[in-house]
Structure 1
Amino acid sequence: MKVKRKPKLVFVQSFSGMMLSAIALMGISPLVLAVPGQVSLHSPEQSAHRQPQKIAQASGTDTPERSQMLQQANALFSQGDLTGAEENLRKLIKKFPEDAFGHFQLGNVLFRQKKPEDAISSYREAIRLRPKYALAYNAIGVVYASQSRWEEAITEYKKALEINPNYGEGLTNFGVALWQTNKKDEALSSLEKALNIFKQQNRNEKVNQVERLLKEIKTTDEHNVS
């Protein structure tokens, strides 16, 4: 019996690590420049790339100065200078305090610096400024998930999906959190929906990630039953 339990334990630990890795991949994009014609160096999600640009245009703050500050922050982030990126974004926010995207990006940087509570505060401020900010709700969920605060993560993912029911990353993260709270059928349903959305969008990298998740979940379930 002991011989059989060991590989099972290793497998479950590996699966949990894979889950958290998937959350990181699906949840928070690296810095996404809200500048027309610019592409992030970190291949952000398509939905994350479009939505901030709309927010920036709607707020009327997409000035050359703002664009330059965002470019500088992105460059510092890509170089691994998180402190520099944070300082740059704080300058941006001081100059444009109503810039929801700036607060969102600051949250991303703070999360990468392992400052979860500060990151959540920045995301909350982004939501205060733009209540329909699905990306920010999803990001808060990712922070909670990284702390295994699954029920709180689920609450935030639900808010994101109420705003955008076809948010593939949100559906994926929601499915993972549901699985972690033993809501297996709902988890699979959410992941299958995310998979179909990514297929429709021809986002093959995301398709592969979700297919791997589904395979691991089903394999883990079989191991637990046996």
Structure 2
Amino acid sequence: MKLKHQPKSTFVQSFSGMMLGAIAVMGISPLVLAVPAKLSLHSPEQSAQRQPQKLAQFSGTGTPERSQMLQQANALFNQGDLTGAEENLRKLIKKFPDDAFGHFQLGNVLFRQKKSEEAITSYQEAIRLQPKYALAYNAIGIVYASQSRWEEAIAEYKKALEINPNYGEGLTNFALALWQTNKKDEALSSLEKALNIFKEQNRGEKVNQVERILKEIKTAEDPSVS
């Protein structure tokens, strides 16, 4: 019986720490937010991790006004002014309604304010504008997981991984949700794949995080494992 409760305490905590790896992380500041899916997944996230108190920056093309508005939102977020960041991002998407990244970042800020349903709506709008937005699907999964809506979270992670099968954070979040639904073998397989991807990307901190989760799982299954 004890083992049944251990995943609920240990891995919910692990999951909460990995959120938003965006949109999501364990052992890294939860203020790290994700970058657009159309950019490469690993190098922008590595850049974001070097500045953990900031919203991820969009490095693609855009107007100077748009870039300035994103920078202002980043600055407000960095100062802990989530309300100000939200207001700034709402101004951005009012002026640029088809800006998927703006909607996505608004979703991140809303989620940080525990406005879960509004965050999901923003992520869904980002997906409507950019259907292959893997990070937005992952983000919706994180919102569901934060509410212990594990099956719904799994469905969203699957969509993200269909778009990008090598999305390390998505694989890790997927594994944690699978573990919560007692799909242990699938969870381990997903974690092992995530671990290999992070190793290939030379992302040592992520490697350490996943290795810790794997160790916790093995300890939960066999308390004699140290």
Band of TM-score, shorter chain: 0.7 to 0.9
Tell me the CA shift for residue 26 of structure 1: 3.6
Task: Please state whether the residue corresponding to 1:182 is helix, strand or coil.
Answer: coil
Q: Which moved more, 1:159-168 or 1:13-22?
A: 13-22
Verify: 1:160 aligned to 2:160, yes or no. Answer: yes
Matched residue type, 2:118:
D
Query: Distance in 2 between the 1:20 and 1:93 partners?
Result: 30
Verify: 1:169 aligned to 2:169, yes or no. Answer: yes
Verify: 1:15 aligned to 2:10, yes or no. Answer: yes
* 2:210 counterpart residue number: 210
**Which string of whole-angstrom CA distances, capped at 9 and with x for unpartnered residues, describes residues 5-39 of structure 1?**
6xx798556414433334326441535688xxx96
**Which string of whole-angstrom CA distances, capped at 9 and with x for unpartnered residues, describes residues 63-122 of structure 1?**
110000000000100110000000000000011000000000000000000000000000
Task: Please state whether the residue corresponding to 2:132 is helix, strand or coil.
Answer: coil
TM-score by structure 2 length?
0.82
Matched residue type, 1:213:
I
Percent of aligned positions that are identical: 73
Query: Distance in 1 between the 2:174 and 2:8 partners?
Result: 20
C-alpha contact (below 8 Å) 1:124/1:136 kept by paired residues? yes
Q: Is the helix fraction higher in 1 or 2?
A: 1
Task: Please state whether the residue corresponding to 2:211 is helix, strand or coil.
Answer: helix
Distance 1:31 1:18, change over 3 A: closer
Map 1:88-99; keep pairs closer than 5 Å. 88-99=88-99
* 2:52 counterpart residue number: 42
Distance 1:44 1:194, change over 3 A: farther
Matched residue type, 2:134:
A
Verify: 1:28 aligned to 2:23, yes or no. Answer: yes
Matched residue type, 1:169:
E
Structure 1 runs of 4+ aligned residues shifted over 2 Å read: 8-14, 16-23, 29-34, 38-41
C-alpha contact (below 8 Å) 1:198/1:207 kept by paired residues? yes
Map 1:101-140; keep pairs closer than 5 Å. 101-140=101-140
Structure 1: gaps of 5 or more residues: none
Distance 1:126 1:12, change over 3 A: closer
Matched residue type, 1:80:
G
**Which string of whole-angstrom CA distances, capped at 9 and with x for unpartnered residues, describes residues 130-179 of structure 1?**
00000000000000000010000000000000000000000000011111
Aligned residues between the structures = 206
Tell me the CA shift for residue 190 of structure 1: 0.3
Task: Please state whether the residue corresponding to 2:98 is helix, strand or coil.
Answer: coil
Q: Which moved more, 1:15-24 or 1:130-139?
A: 15-24
C-alpha contact (below 8 Å) 1:32/1:74 kept by paired residues? no
Query: Distance in 2 between the 1:88 and 1:210 partners?
Result: 35
Tell me the CA shift for residue 42 of structure 1: 1.8
Distance 1:99 1:121, change over 3 A: same
Query: Distance in 1 between the 2:158 and 2:91 partners?
Result: 32
Matched residue type, 1:102:
G
C-alpha contact (below 8 Å) 1:89/1:106 kept by paired residues? yes
Structure 2: gaps of 5 or more residues: 25-31, 37-43
Aligned-residue CA RMSD (Å): 2.7
